A = this chain, B = another copy of it.
Amino acid sequence: MRPGPPTVKGQRRRDELLKAAQDVFEREGYFDTRVTDIVTQAHVSHGTFYVYFDSKDDILRCLIDQLVEELYVGSTEEEGLHEASAYAQLEATIRQFMAVYKANAKMMRILEQVVAFDDEVREIRLGIILRFTERIKAAIVAFQARGGDPDLDPAHAAQALGGMVGDYAFACYVLKQDIDERVAIATMARIWAKAVGIPIDVPVVTSKPAPRRRKASA
């Protein structure tokens, strides 16, 4: 990566290129994107591109760094609900993850396309997941200490539960399956809570139109 131009004008140019590149990558996918598309979209010449970036791969890496940054910011700004129940916190965490994923879905799609054959990007993706699963793992351990299921392996459970959410997000926002987010989040929270042993203290959410309490029949 280039040293990064010191001037304000240069910085703006760089940002324009990044923006243009993101547009094109998101629209065409990594392999179908040509440098020509990017410079056209940014209204600059080919030469200018190489003033700011070493290669097509370089600019992708910059965009992925940006993405990681946004995922990080998105998933930490939050949670004034320290006083909420464990279940409520859990559901909030899942909801937040889904929201952040949704906001960056197009770039996630690029990431998934590249991840399988680019070691460097794979490391980055593992890092993203790791940060998420580490938080999950810590929560599981904490809850086990307060009486949760002691037979659950925290590391594996974190991986499994994190993967569940990640895969759901991929299915929803990348593969565009037609899914009701509300029910999806509730279902995942429910599964997760039961797995860890957190009591479920909120009403059931389903996709059925009128689901209020059905104790009567039970």
The answer, yes or no, to whether A120 is at the interface (CB within 8 Å) is no
B113 touches A177 (CB 8 A): no
A54-62, A69-77, A85-93, A151-159 - the one binding chain B:
A151-159
Q: Bound complex: CA of A122 vs CA of B160, how far in Å?
A: 23
Chain B residues, Cβ within 8 Å of A164: 160-161, 163-164, 167
B29 touches A116 (CB 8 A): yes
The answer, yes or no, to whether A17 is at the interface (CB within 8 Å) is no
The answer, yes or no, to whether A68 is at the interface (CB within 8 Å) is no
Which of B112, B150, B156 contacts A183, CB < 8 Å?
B156
Q: Bound complex: CA of A47 vs CA of B177, how far in Å?
A: 41
Chain A interface residue number, banded: 35 or more
Interface residues of A in 186-212 (CB under 8 A from B): 186-188, 190-191, 194-195, 204, 206-207
- Given A153-B207, A174-B116, A194-B194, the answer on whether A188 and B167 have CB atoms closer than 8 Å is no
B167 touches A184 (CB 8 A): no
Interface residues of A in 161-192 (CB under 8 A from B): 161, 163-164, 166-168, 170-171, 174-175, 177, 179-180, 183-184, 186-188, 190-191
Q: A153-B206, A156-B184, A166-B167 are in contact. List 16 more A-B contacts (CB 8 A).
A: A29-B116, A31-B117, A109-B117, A110-B116, A113-B116, A126-B175, A153-B187, A156-B180, A156-B187, A157-B191, A159-B171, A160-B184, A161-B191, A163-B164, A164-B164, A190-B195
The 4 closest A-B pairs by CB, nearest first: A163-B167, A29-B117, A164-B164, A156-B187
Binding site for B on A (CB under 8 A): 28-29, 31-32, 109-110, 112-113, 115-117, 122, 125-126, 129, 149-153, 155-157, 159-161, 163-164, 166-168, 170-171, 174-175, 177, 179-180, 183-184, 186-188, 190-191, 194-195, 204, 206-207, 214-215, 218
Residue pairs across A and B with Cβ atoms less than 8 A apart, 14 shown, are A32-B117, A112-B116, A113-B116, A113-B117, A129-B171, A151-B214, A152-B191, A156-B183, A160-B187, A160-B191, A161-B164, A191-B191, A191-B195, A194-B194
